[in-house]
Structure 1
Amino acid sequence: MSDVNRLNKRFAEIIASDHRHGGQPGIEERAAALADEALNLQNAGSATQRVRSSLYASGAAFRSSAMWAAIDGRRYDVAKAHMREAQALAEMSGDQAIKFRIWSHAGTMYRHMGRPADACAANDVARNLHLTRRDPLFASLGLARQGAIHGTAQNRTDTRRAFEQAQDAMLRADPADHRPVWLLAFYDQAELDSLALSAYLALGDYPTAEYHAHRCLSSLRPHMLRSRAITTTRLAHALLAQGAAEAATATAMKVPIDAATRHARVSRMLQEFGAALRATAPRSTTVQVWTEHTTTWRTAA
């Protein structure tokens, strides 16, 4: 178990790096290498069934982090390969929490790919695991991600219902319960509001999206740098869609250069913001300000 404990410490480091930097290839590569290291320990000698199950769970956890880094970096073909390996390791481990993480990530991947039916099916696998009946916090995350999927699918009523149920489940969760580090590191009220922001932005309900953006930003933990950049960018989109071009541009300009130039999801959303801004106010000084700002980004990168 000393090897397992050492790997768990490395896993916590991967999680922390992900929240700071997002889907960088370096994080994906480190996570994949640590997954291989966990599997190599299986062949290093005799071990109890408990140790073997823990090593498979560690391998699945690292592989699921590699999968998430690839999703976050929009490298979907690579993410699918990591997903298949993670799913196999999770089955051998028998660990319900890591199974939830992998299938929930799969749902998010398909949502980002614009495949809501597949996203819903994958997320349902996570939500139907018995630990969601045992722990309301897992149930809440499954429901919140389901709400984001419903938003992508333009199901307004189902979106609202899912987030109401997710909020209720979160309020019922006992903070004293033991939970895995990956869940405690990111899922809280801010993340629930972030998922709601994504859903209502997709639905075109911009005032509600803006409301959830402000709630998210007000409660985000300091280490969630990637989440703050994504939420700030989405808030800029919500403001622009309501006709507040100057406020939207000022908001978008708050995104750090590192995230704007190196994080695939943020970069794409900011490119889309610039295109929408130019279409909304093509000859305004606001467009000129944004153009000069993005030129500075490119120079700094």
Structure 2
Amino acid sequence: MSDVDRLQKRFAEIIASDHRHGGQLGIEQRAASLADEALNLQNSGSATQRVRSSLYASAAAFRSSAMWAAIDGRRYDDAKTHMREAQTLAEMSGDQAIKFRIWSHTGTMYRHLGRPADALAANDVARNLFLTRRDPLFASLGLARQGAIQGTAQDRSGMRRTFDQAQEAMLRSDPTEYRPVWMLAFYDQAELDSLALSANLALGDYPTAEYHAHRCLSALRPHMIRSRAIATTRLAHAQLAQGAADAATATAMKVPTDVATHHARVARMLQEFGAALRATAPGSTTAQTWTEHAATWRTTA
């Protein structure tokens, strides 16, 4: 188990790196390499069933982090390759929590690909695991991600109902219960509001999206650098859609340069913001300000 403990420490480092940088090819490659390292330990000597299961779970966890980094970096073909490997390893491990993570990430991947039916089907696999009946926090995360998918699918009433259920499940959860490091590192009220922000933005309910953006940003923990940039960019979109071009531009300019230039998802969202701003206020001082600001990224990238 000393090898497993060592791998768990490396996994915590991958999680921390993901929250700081997100989507980077280096994170994906490092996680995939550590997955292979965990599997190689299976072949070195004899081990108890407990150790073997733990090594498979570690390999699945690393592969799921590689999958998530690829999703976050919009490298979807690579994400699907990692997904298939991660699903196999998770089945071999028998670990419910890592199965949940992989299928929940699969749902998120299909949501980003604009395939809500596939996204719901994948997320349902996660939500139907016994773990979600035992732990309300896992149930809450499954419901919150379902709500985000329903927003993409334009299911307004279903989305509202699902987020109410996600909030209720979170309030029922016991904060002292043991949970894996990846869950503790990111899922809290801020993340629930982030998913609600995404859903309402997709539905075109911009005032509600802005409300959840402010709640999310006020509650985000300091290490959630990538999440803060995403929520800030979505807030800018919500403000612009309500006609507040000056406020929206000021918000978008708060995204740090290193995130704006090195995180594929944030970069795309900011490009879309710039296009929407130029369409909304062509030739304005505000649009010019944004263009000049964005130009500095190209010189510092």
Q: TM-score, normalised by structure 1?
A: 1.00
Secondary structure at 1:174's aligned position in 2? coil
Matching of residue 99 in structure 1 with residue 99 in structure 2: yes
Matching of residue 192 in structure 1 with residue 195 in structure 2: no
What's the counterpart of residue 183 of structure 1? 183
Deviations 1:147-205 (A, max 9, x none): 00000000000100110000000000000100000000000000000000000000000
Spell out the pairing of 1:21-36 with structure 2 (5 A cutoff).
21-36=21-36
Report the Cα distance in structure 1 between the residues aligned to 2:43 and 2:210, rounded to whole angstroms.
Answer: 52
Spell out the pairing of 1:164-175 with structure 2 (5 A cutoff).
164-175=164-175
Report the Cα distance in structure 2 between the residues aligned to 1:291 and 1:97, rounded to whole angstroms.
Answer: 45
What's the counterpart of residue 5 of structure 1? 5
Displacement of 1:33 in angstroms is: 0.2
What's the counterpart of residue 222 of structure 2? 222
Spell out the pairing of 1:63-78 with structure 2 (5 A cutoff).
63-78=63-78
Displacement of 1:25 in angstroms is: 0.1
Secondary structure at 1:123's aligned position in 2? helix
Displacement of 1:285 in angstroms is: 0.2
Report the Cα distance in structure 2 between the residues aligned to 1:219 and 1:190, rounded to whole angstroms.
Answer: 5
Code of the residue aligned with 1:120 in structure 2: it is L
Report the Cα distance in structure 2 between the residues aligned to 1:190 and 1:16, rounded to whole angstroms.
Answer: 17
Code of the residue aligned with 2:112 in structure 1: it is H
Matching of residue 124 in structure 1 with residue 113 in structure 2: no
Deviations 1:60-95 (A, max 9, x none): 000000000000000000000000000000000000
Spell out the pairing of 1:11-22 with structure 2 (5 A cutoff).
11-22=11-22
Displacement of 1:123 in angstroms is: 0.0
Report the Cα distance in structure 1 between the residues aligned to 2:278 and 2:71, rounded to whole angstroms.
Answer: 29
Displacement of 1:228 in angstroms is: 0.3
Spell out the pairing of 1:232-243 with structure 2 (5 A cutoff).
232-243=232-243
Report the Cα distance in structure 1 between the residues aligned to 2:33 and 2:54, rounded to whole angstroms.
Answer: 17
Spell out the pairing of 1:199-214 with structure 2 (5 A cutoff).
199-214=199-214
Spell out the pairing of 1:217-296 with structure 2 (5 A cutoff).
217-296=217-296
What's the counterpart of residue 145 of structure 1? 145
Report the Cα distance in structure 2 between the residues aligned to 1:259 and 1:158, rounded to whole angstroms.
Answer: 33
Report the Cα distance in structure 2 between the residues aligned to 1:144 and 1:299, rounded to whole angstroms.
Answer: 39
Displacement of 1:283 in angstroms is: 1.3
Aligned-residue identity in percent: 86
Code of the residue aligned with 2:84 in structure 1: it is R
Report the Cα distance in structure 1 between the residues aligned to 2:269 and 2:95, rounded to whole angstroms.
Answer: 36
Matching of residue 160 in structure 1 with residue 156 in structure 2: no
Displacement of 1:21 in angstroms is: 0.1
Stretches of structure 1 lacking an aligned partner (at least 5 in a row): none
Secondary structure at 1:269's aligned position in 2? helix
Report the Cα distance in structure 1 between the residues aligned to 2:227 and 2:175, rounded to whole angstroms.
Answer: 22
Stretches of structure 2 lacking an aligned partner (at least 5 in a row): none
Report the Cα distance in structure 2 between the residues aligned to 1:72 and 1:132, rounded to whole angstroms.
Answer: 25
Report the Cα distance in structure 2 between the residues aligned to 1:299 and 1:97, rounded to whole angstroms.
Answer: 43
Secondary structure at 1:178's aligned position in 2? coil
Secondary structure at 2:92's aligned position in 1? helix
Q: TM-score, normalised by structure 2?
A: 1.00
Report the Cα distance in structure 2 between the residues aligned to 1:176 and 1:89, rounded to whole angstroms.
Answer: 29
Matching of residue 51 in structure 1 with residue 51 in structure 2: yes
What's the counterpart of residue 134 of structure 1? 134
Code of the residue aligned with 1:166 in structure 2: it is A
Secondary structure at 1:145's aligned position in 2? helix
Secondary structure at 2:222's aligned position in 1? coil
Report the Cα distance in structure 2 between the residues aligned to 1:121 and 1:141, rounded to whole angstroms.
Answer: 15
Code of the residue aligned with 2:82 in structure 1: it is H
Report the Cα distance in structure 1 between the residues aligned to 2:176 and 2:251, rounded to whole angstroms.
Answer: 37
